[in-house]
Chain A
């Protein structure tokens, strides 16, 4: 009786509101939050030590831009937890900023939404031409063969950080192959003292997806075929992931508690506090390491090593890109702003506080005063890195494979063992997930 009444109620409401709802759709028509050509809205991702720190870093630059062009930039710094949701809702509703920072791995997925301004030859020219960018960096701008919808802003790459003193005390040299990495790490592990060879961000699905990609690439794996179809269960993917999981499972050089490290910061902190002899992180780890009191001369960086005979892939092409929303009402201003942000001077200023690698061809590494570290990272970024799959379903790869890795690490941590066939099973499930949710 009650239910039927409720149904009547809902039916009445539906009838009453259907007409209104019908006009409630659509979001790609031209409307934006600010109405004139003298202002821009800019969403910056959180790159510094805090949101406030980011504002302090960016505000002076934005002032310069205003002085130069007369365009006022309204800045909003958005934390990583929110950024994806915010971009999503902005795309869906059309109520978007003019210029936005994106994680460069999302570039192809975001490109597929059609909500962003393509950098065709005219637009590319307006921001200073594509030739000014490092080629590896530029390639993350979108799917190959399509007009890019983003351009590189800050470059990042993974490196293997090691504690110089701990290595010297054990009479070790930084590893140059995977085998050495494992032997060294074993020697440096002393669970009684709560010291381990490595710290892993094993509970972060994005970090895990990156390492699934890098390790698989070293073993000759790959995640999508040329048609953009997932090939998750390739042998190289399985063996690469197995190798990475084994750091915790069989080599026991990373503590099981790492399975609940849901962001890279926690593993970096362990490294900075002497609880781990090595950590694999992007070069902006320098920030955290220093803020934890470890001095620059106390650590060194080498490329994340591949097994002997494997592909020398040490990182994916990480970093932040800039995109312009298609429905901006100030396209000229937005392009000017992109040009400004990717100009030599601004890059030089921002790379330092954000610990970023230059995305410009003639750029110098400014985030570290250590010439060797700078050289290592630049080498990794320019020659030893591969972009994550540049397909529309890249986001699905990150979430399904990354989460499968989370689960497997959790199982290892709670005492279960993971075999190659378990990995294959997990990857095949992930692949079915991608297929099923893109079919819906």
Chain B
């Protein structure tokens, strides 16, 4: 039981522990020195570029100025106005892409979580061959993104692809070979491909979480007459709450910002169903050399993610405290 009594919330524990340490005046600089390199690189590679990126969203940085962008005129909020003008073409398509991305994220993350959870539970108890499955399931996650996605692209071709061969020629589920890399079906394709890549991560984290749930909790539940499903809802889920909080947030951020999967899958033309937002911004602004506009769209995306993440953290913290 000793593991269980550990508070699941790191912050709470740290807050309790920290004041006990005496502040040693002579060594006050040590933590700063330790952080030094990390801070340096973060500033260089993340913070300054982000600040410049935000600044770019306020200037008129089109192809007429990129060679000398000190001369680019200040655009005020014009870039943002264009992005948010949902009656104009650019705003409308941005909104459309945003909604597709929301649906995509919910489905891809949801599916990944369900698959990951199913696999983690199926492999919770020891049996012969467990290690083989565990190893196999981790392969999609270990593969470099582009190789896995390229393989899917090859499989999703209409005429010569393995998927249509399987569905139409082998299983006869569908009459005509549908397009998977064109039109509305691309939504299905991209959800499947993203989930294929992502679910092993959910599996990995949840499996790790399951290992820290003591066996006797299940035994106690079994003695109370709880069936496996009840055991899952009454023991597993509550014990995994903090893991889930982290896993879902991380997967949400990765998936919402995903650029690689649509880029490798669709190249430089965005199909109706696979028009994810990072990819959309890249195509509508960076590809046409309007960096100011592209930056404004990216900034709006960040603002949205900040709000969602903030709300999510506040919500889960509150619930954790109440529990």
A and B touch in the complex (CB under 8 A): yes
Given A21-B48, A28-B67: A260 in contact with B288 (beta carbons within 8 A): no
Interface residues of A (CB under 8 A from B): 1-3, 6, 13-14, 16-18, 20-21, 24-28, 81, 84, 88, 91-92, 94, 109, 112-115, 203-205, 256-257, 259-260, 262, 392, 395-396, 399-400, 402-403, 406-407, 410-411, 413-414, 429, 432-433, 436-440
Q: Is B154 an interface residue (CB 8 A)?
A: no
Q: Which of A6, A257, A260 has its CB near the most chain B CB atoms (within 10 A)?
A: A260
Restricting to B62-106, which residues have a CB under 8 Å from any CB of A? 62-64, 66-70, 75, 78-79, 82, 88-90
Does A205 lie within 8 Å of B268, measured CB to CB? Answer: yes
Q: For residue A275, which residue of chain B has the nearest CB?
A: B159
A345 to chain B, nearest CB (A): 34
Q: What's the Cα separation between A410 and B184 when bound, in Å?
A: 9
What 1/0 mask marks residues of chain B from 212 to 240 whose CB sits below 8 Å from any chain A CB?
A: 00000000000000000000000000000
Q: Which of B68, B75, B290 has its CB near the most chain A CB atoms (within 10 A)?
A: B68
Cross-chain contact of B179 among A13, A91, A260 (Cβ < 8 A): A260
Interface secondary structure of A, over-half rule: helix
A430 to chain B, nearest CB (A): 8
Cross-chain contact of A399 among B179, B287, B293 (Cβ < 8 A): B287
Given A257-B158, A399-B287: A433 in contact with B90 (beta carbons within 8 A): yes
Q: What's the Cα separation between A316 and B157 when bound, in Å?
A: 31
A109 to chain B, nearest CB (A): 6
Does B158 lie within 8 Å of A439, measured CB to CB? Answer: no
Given A205-B268, A260-B179: A3 in contact with B306 (beta carbons within 8 A): yes
Given A3-B306, A113-B66, A439-B82: A410 in contact with B89 (beta carbons within 8 A): no
In this complex, how many residues of chain B approach chain A with their Cβ under 8 Å: the count is 56
Q: Which of A21, A259, A403 has its CB near the most chain B CB atoms (within 10 A)?
A: A21
Does B288 lie within 8 Å of A91, measured CB to CB? Answer: no
Q: Is B55 an interface residue (CB 8 A)?
A: yes
Q: What's the Cα separation between A221 and B55 when bound, in Å?
A: 41
Does B179 lie within 8 Å of A395, measured CB to CB? Answer: no
Cross-chain contact of A25 among B69, B178, B289 (Cβ < 8 A): B69
Does A262 lie within 8 Å of B52, measured CB to CB? Answer: no
Does B67 lie within 8 Å of A91, measured CB to CB? Answer: yes
Does B182 lie within 8 Å of A414, measured CB to CB? Answer: yes
Q: Is B298 an interface residue (CB 8 A)?
A: no
Does B158 lie within 8 Å of A407, measured CB to CB? Answer: no
Q: Is B181 an interface residue (CB 8 A)?
A: yes
Q: For residue B80, which residue of chain A has the nearest CB?
A: A440
Restricting to B7-48, which residues have a CB under 8 Å from any CB of A? 43, 47-48
Contacts of A205 in B (CB 8 A): 268-269
A108 to chain B, nearest CB (A): 11
Q: Is B292 an interface residue (CB 8 A)?
A: yes
Contacts of B90 in A (CB 8 A): 432-433, 436-437
Contacts of B62 in A (CB 8 A): 437-438, 440
Given A2-B310, A410-B183, A414-B184: A440 in contact with B63 (beta carbons within 8 A): no
Given A13-B43, A112-B63, A432-B88: A440 in contact with B75 (beta carbons within 8 A): yes
Q: For residue A438, which residue of chain B has the nearest CB?
A: B62
Q: What's the Cα separation between A433 and B60 when bound, in Å?
A: 16
A279 to chain B, nearest CB (A): 17
Does A17 lie within 8 Å of B182, measured CB to CB? Answer: no
Given A112-B64, A205-B269: A437 in contact with B314 (beta carbons within 8 A): no
Does A14 lie within 8 Å of B89, measured CB to CB? Answer: no
Task: List 15 other contacts, CB 8 Å, given A115-B66, A436-B90.
Answer: A16-B47, A21-B48, A25-B69, A26-B70, A81-B268, A84-B287, A92-B291, A113-B63, A399-B288, A407-B272, A414-B179, A437-B90, A437-B285, A440-B79, A440-B292
